[in-house]
Structure 1
């Protein structure tokens, strides 16, 4: 065992790229001392690590292992973690290292260093912190060989990730169903492309394109009433009573929507300042929406009983007890084409926020299944024309990418309101690949 560790020590010393004379001297020293040469095995788990700055302070841990069984007089030594200022590019005011000098005799097999990375809101290039493991005897570095693999670690501090621009953005997040309580419900995704007229070749007309998938807020109607006969009971030979039950009925409907929206943009007015731009556009639109709608009917609350006494023969009573209908769930598909004739698009953009609001009024062509004419063998699709109006708003904070979106759509002649509220994180299209990479490779 001693021989094996001595050979390992020689190999490690060779890896240190010492001068030939120094290496030969150390080799001779080891040979004269036989197999009783003192050494330690202290090493970081890896040669490098990476963290990213955030909008708040964060504390990260870095571990290293220690093996000092071959070190004599351990009380005379202490371990210190030193910052290599020559290879550290992150300013000292942007981080703090938490690790007190520790006596060798009190070292554990696994030790941890804690680093406080202070908050930041500015995008910057990647900075580095280099840490070295040093064993001291008194005030000087101990001349004890360390056969550990990684005596130093390079920590890469990546800049805070922000949205670089508002022209090409993807969104992934969740829908909010405010009717059933403020809670996250289901996946929301979208991809938006916004090109102002100034960003096009002829600089006359821009466009806005959006592809999305969302869920509309649940719509609940609790005004329904169900009345039924639950019993007919004889009281005497010439009288009987009919017992009626009244229950409240709840109807719930929600829709999952997939849509594509495109709108040309003609500038109406513009207001610019050194740090912000506000534009108003005339924007007719064309939109296709596929909706998968689910409805459910169920009873709720305590039933109310009503007893009606009657005179006569019970056998002549026509009313008979009725079973309570079971809860009913229906799912059906709808398709809508909306042609917006009157539309405006408002865009406010600066380094702090992006706000987009667009409203539209126009012609709607809706296609849905007529359940009265359909049967188990075939479904009858019918078309219905209407006037629609819709409004949408997107608010994006670029440093975090947090985006709030709200939408309302309804029809004039056959009202069917749809409300959508989402919370998502915006990202540049160029970074879409990072979403699908394994966590270990990020």
Structure 2
């Protein structure tokens, strides 16, 4: 009885052996479900790998093919090519437990674009040319290749988020002087992709305008001194009034940037050069100090009959301080940018409407007046990449009531990510 059972078992194994061989599992699949590649202005070559294992020698499948999925892919088929797209049975059967490598070449393109994707699918082809994947136990039978758009390398010159600390220049009376603290922080976000059509420029700053000296006014003063009961001496002194006006500015500024495509071209892929339409909004708190002094130019003395007047006008110096609050809406504006690994140059010009609230404070008495006008302004920033040395110039004036303000500064630029080091403790605890 026992011998009969063993005989039946052996016969059953031999009967089922062809069926077991024909149903042997196999696996052909990508070793990743997705990869990401950055596009360049030159051809880019990278590889995708497939794991091939447990492929039986008598398999009915004749070849393996990589299929481009046109419905899902957003990257043009004509913009890339595969080193090999179809693999025959003889190529596959020798790779049991091995790696199959396919190379992909992307065409170079420096056009600003959005992120795109290539979807590739594995198909096993039988002897009739039909794609069948029934017994393939691989988990990754499709791969997504994400193509990041080309971007201009800064090569060490990242100028988009900077803080500045330095000093103002004052050119009063022809002397170049460094006076007072200058600070600013600028944030720039350019519209670099079609999905991001509008960027912005934000600036917070504090500076001192150059001293303005006005010596065009002439005033006269009288000095009376009694000689006798019926006569007195009167001295008329003519003076030039010299007004020195110094303004400290604290302001915030924001401007959307809309690309002007006709100027948004560069023959050098490592350099950014573009023009933007840039309307703007700006608020400025301006603290102005005026010092009025007098310079004598002539003196005329005469004897006058009669009693001396009970008063004489003197020549005292006068100092006054007052605040101004300006709201500027620049309706017409242009923003130019030129950046490469060595230098950043930014120039902005704006024309628009301004509303100024001005208050004069004399002996504790304040009064505010409102002025409406047309303003125009221009700003320029030049920053050297390796040292952060920055030169900045600014001019601001109005049409109906002209009063120009000029600003010139030299400063050191810091990246925001480096500012944290300033607040680190000297020693670690």
Normalised TM-score (structure 2): 0.58
The answer to whether 1:351 aligns with 2:345 is no
What count of residue pairs does the alignment treat as equivalent? 270
Structure 1 match to 2:202? 209
User: Structure 1 residues 334 and 163 mapped into 2: Cα distance closer, same or farther (>3 Å)?
Assistant: farther
The answer to whether 1:224 aligns with 2:217 is yes
Tell whether the 8 Å contact from 1:163 to 1:401 is kept in structure 2 after alignment.
Answer: no
Q: Shift of the alpha carbon at 1:239? A: 7.2
What are the equivalent positions in structure 2 for 1:28-427 lying under 5 Å apart? 164-180=157-173, 181-198=175-192, 202-232=195-225, 234=227, 241-268=233-260, 269-272=263-266, 273-300=268-295, 302=296, 304-309=298-303, 313-315=305-307, 318=309, 321-325=312-316, 327-369=317-359, 376=364, 379-427=366-414
Q: Secondary structure at the match of 1:392?
A: strand
1:173-207: per-residue Cα shift (whole Å, max 9, x none)? 111111152111111111111111006x8221111
Tell whether the 8 Å contact from 1:163 to 1:428 is kept in structure 2 after alignment.
Answer: no
For the aligned residues, what is the CA RMSD? 2.6
Q: Secondary structure at the match of 2:419?
A: helix
User: Structure 1 residues 174 and 237 mapped into 2: Cα distance closer, same or farther (>3 Å)?
Assistant: closer
Q: Secondary structure at the match of 2:192?
A: helix
Tell whether the 8 Å contact from 1:248 to 1:299 is kept in structure 2 after alignment.
Answer: yes
Q: Shift of the alpha carbon at 1:295? A: 1.1
Q: Shift of the alpha carbon at 1:314? A: 3.4
Q: Secondary structure at the match of 1:198?
A: coil
Tell whether the 8 Å contact from 1:345 to 1:357 is kept in structure 2 after alignment.
Answer: yes
Q: Secondary structure at the match of 2:264?
A: strand
- The 2-side partners of 1:352 and 1:439 are apart by 32
Q: Secondary structure at the match of 1:323?
A: coil
1:348-400: per-residue Cα shift (whole Å, max 9, x none)? 001121100010000111112266xx984x63433221111000000000011
- The 1-side partners of 2:324 and 2:377 are apart by 18
- The 2-side partners of 1:431 and 1:210 are apart by 18
- The 2-side partners of 1:307 and 1:210 are apart by 59
User: Structure 1 residues 241 and 331 mapped into 2: Cα distance closer, same or farther (>3 Å)?
Assistant: closer
User: Structure 1 residues 356 and 214 mapped into 2: Cα distance closer, same or farther (>3 Å)?
Assistant: same
Which stretches in structure 1 are left out of the alignment for 5+ residues? 1-161
Q: Shift of the alpha carbon at 1:324? A: 2.9
Tell whether the 8 Å contact from 1:164 to 1:428 is kept in structure 2 after alignment.
Answer: no
Tell whether the 8 Å contact from 1:229 to 1:320 is kept in structure 2 after alignment.
Answer: no
Normalised TM-score (structure 1): 0.56
- The 1-side partners of 2:337 and 2:197 are apart by 17
1:330-353: per-residue Cα shift (whole Å, max 9, x none)? 122111111100000000001121
- The 2-side partners of 1:331 and 1:370 are apart by 7
Tell whether the 8 Å contact from 1:229 to 1:319 is kept in structure 2 after alignment.
Answer: no
Structure 1 runs (4+) deviating above 6 angstroms are 236-240, 438-441
Which stretches in structure 2 are left out of the alignment for 5+ residues? 1-154
The structure whose Rg is larger is: 2
Q: Shift of the alpha carbon at 1:294? A: 1.1
